[in-house]
Amino acid sequence: MSNPPSPSLDQLLGTPPPPGLGLDSIQAMRWGAKHPPKDPQASFAGKVVMISGANSGIGYHAAEKFAKLGASKVILAVRTPAKGNMAKEQIEAAMGCSEKSNGIVVMQLDMDDFQSVKQFATKLEEEVAVDGLDVAILNAGILAPNYTAIESTGWESTLQVNVLSTALLAIRLMPLLKRAAERNGQPSQLTMTSSAGSLSVTPADIPTDVPSILQALNEPGSFGLRSTYVISKLLVLYIMRGLVDDYSEPVPPNESMCGNTHPPISVAVNVICPGYTVTNIGRGAPYYITVMNKLLQLYGGRSAEQGSRSLVSAALLGVHGHGKFWSHDTFVDQGYMVTSEEGQKLQARIWKEIHGVCMKELE
């Protein structure tokens, strides 16, 4: 089964932020609002796409784009099926569908609960049994306003949703992604949503003189509304590195989505930052933070539709984006906490802990 040609890397790349501006600053927000990513126009004909957090925000708009770009099946993974069905109807209306589409499927996924993640993956296996999964967008995430331990798992909610359930879902989806890669002779795509805020994390923010870093971060005394969130997004980069190293073995070579100049891989894994985007992710935060957030959104916020463009373009990068951080239509530096020797050692240690939690759940 042949796939339609995709854009070249040069066509996907845009103008990067000015040198010295950084990514996690008010100036960068303002620049990003004035320079949104390009709206990808490539074909996803014949492809099966799954998006978590797909009923609102950038996840919803990415789902709509994938559907409009011809994906044969778009799976909306949502916590609340009723909201997912509403999103499906909105996408169908935007596409001008007079009848319900069999190509848009709503499936329940509660990232608060390991059991729900595993059940979702099992049902997804049945849904895509023949063709496998071409694109997985792991976008669901939270910014918790206060410390809350998930009763069923014992993990703080941000670590549970943004880190551990994301890693578990990624690992669980790998066989489905590899099945599609074998069918196509080219890499499937796994993309996770991170944040430029991860670049603000320093070694002092991560407790290392402890038996378990994850358990130390899980303590109530370690929680901070912003600090816990940005640390969780750093750990998404660590998950990406772990998946690249441990889960993306080669497949028989064929022309990749962006050319065939790199060794073939089964699953291309990358991470995106959508920029400072107007969404409801901070709902429930204290009043003063909500007001400040609204002011920042007015000054330097992208629309959710604009932010979603990075999810779609990231799914087109193929081998060129493997192991990379995509934002503002360019590859951005992953920061000291990832690229330095100290960061690499920390990544290896934390990935081992994350992977261990996931493997225990899969026993």
In the chain the domains, ranked by start, together with CATH numbers, are 9-13+25-361 (3.40.50.720)
Contact at 8 Å (CB) between 111 and 117? yes
Cα separation, 148 vs 165, in Å, equals 16
Contact at 8 Å (CB) between 329 and 12? yes
Instruction: Give the residues across from 271 on adjacent strands.
Output: 192, 325
**What residues are annotated to the active site?**
229, 233
Return the pLDDT at 355. Answer: 99
Q: What is the model's pTM?
A: 0.92
Token readout for 134 is: 């071409």
**pLDDT by residue for the chain (363 residues), tens digit each?**
444 467 899 999 998 888 877 777 788 888 888 999 999 999 999 999 999 999 999 999 999 999 999 999 999 999 999 999 999 999 999 988 755 667 999 999 999 999 999 999 999 999 999 889 999 999 999 999 999 999 999 999 999 999 999 999 999 999 999 999 999 888 999 999 999 999 999 999 999 999 999 999 999 999 999 999 999 999 999 999 999 999 977 655 554 444 444 447 899 999 999 998 877 665 666 766 676 677 777 667 889 999 999 999 999 999 999 999 999 999 999 999 999 999 999 999 999 999 999 999 999
Burial class (CB within 10 angstroms; exposed 0-12, middle 13-18, buried 19+) of 98 = exposed
Instruction: Give the residues across from 232 on adjacent strands.
Output: none
Return the pLDDT at 277. Answer: 87
b/e map 161-172, b = 16+ CB within 10 Å: bbbbbbbbbbbb
Of 176, 347, 136, 361, residue with least CA distance to 245: 347
Return the pLDDT at 261. Answer: 44
